[in-house]
Every structure is written in C-alpha cells, then in structure tokens.
Amino acid sequence: MRIFELNSEVRVARRTSDVFPFFSDAFNLERLTPPWLRFQVVTPGPIRMQAGTRIEYRLRLRGVPIRWVSEITAWEPPHRFVDRQVRGPYRLWVHEHRFRDSEHGAVCEDTVRYAVWGGGLVNRLAVGRDVKRIFDYRREKLLEIFKPTVEPPSRMA
C-alpha cells in the first residue's frame, strides 16, 4: 500500500488557547469543509473529545454518498490531536493536528497520511488534487474565522 502525505500550515492572529477550543467542537469541522462535499456530522452532540471518541460523518464525494467514521487516537490539548479513519473512502487516513504559539500568533499544522484504492495513478488523477483543495479551503476558512481583532481607538477625554 502506497502512503501519501499532505502537510499544511496556517498562522492565525490568535493564541493556541483561543484556537484549540474551536477544534474541540467536532461540529466546527462542518465550517472547515468545502460546501461541494456536503459534509455533515451525524453523531449527536454534544461530542466529548478525548482519545477513543468516535465520530460519524456523512458527505458526498464526486456525487457519491459516503459514511465516514473517525476515531480520536490522541488528545493533548492545547497542542495536538490525531484522528484516524475507522470507516470511509480511504485505505488509510491519519490526520495529525498540531498547534503552537509563535511571535505572530498560533500556528496550526496539519499532517495527513493517506492511502487510496488504485494507488499512485488514482491519487495523481483525482484524490491528491481533492485533498489539496480541501486543505486550501480549510486554510482560508481558518484565516477568516480567526482574523485579527482590532482594538477600538482610545477616546481622549
């Protein structure tokens, strides 16, 4: 089985203490997923995030309805968590989310290791581009959600 890897990074103008709680709510994944996937969390809320938590999703991939179940395999707030596909369209899907503070805000890093049915050819023709598009969208949404806050001008008395 050939394993592919995607790495993505975005720096937002907030601290990890502000960003990690957003990721602690599984339903926010709907906000970070492109509309063309028609992604929806099926597991009833509230969902308590911790190692061992399983979450079920419904989406459409190239028009085909898909059920996806992921399991949180590592939960280390506010620095890291990992989810892996238990059931879904990939032969393998392991997604590590890392968060760290920098001088200019929180750095959100994603590393996805995945394998597809059909191997390199299928990845090159379709899946690799789709995964990149999904994470490009995610990056833009995070920048929009965590845009810098502007302090109101001070008033002179």
Cα distance between the two ends of the chain: 70
In the numeric block, which tokens belong to residue 2? Answer: 């050939």
Task: Return the CATH number at 131.
Answer: 3.30.530.20
Q: DSSP 3-state assignment of 81? A: strand
Residue numbers of the domain that contains 19: 4-145
Of 103, 102, 68, the residue nearest 84 (C-alpha): 68
What does each of the 157 residues of the chain score in pLDDT, given as a tens digit? Answer: 999 999 999 999 999 999 999 999 999 999 999 999 999 999 999 999 999 999 999 999 888 999 999 999 999 999 999 999 999 999 999 999 999 999 989 999 999 999 999 989 999 999 999 999 999 999 999 999 998 765 555 455 4
Instruction: Please tell me the total count of domains within the chain.
Output: 1
128 assigned to some structural domain = yes
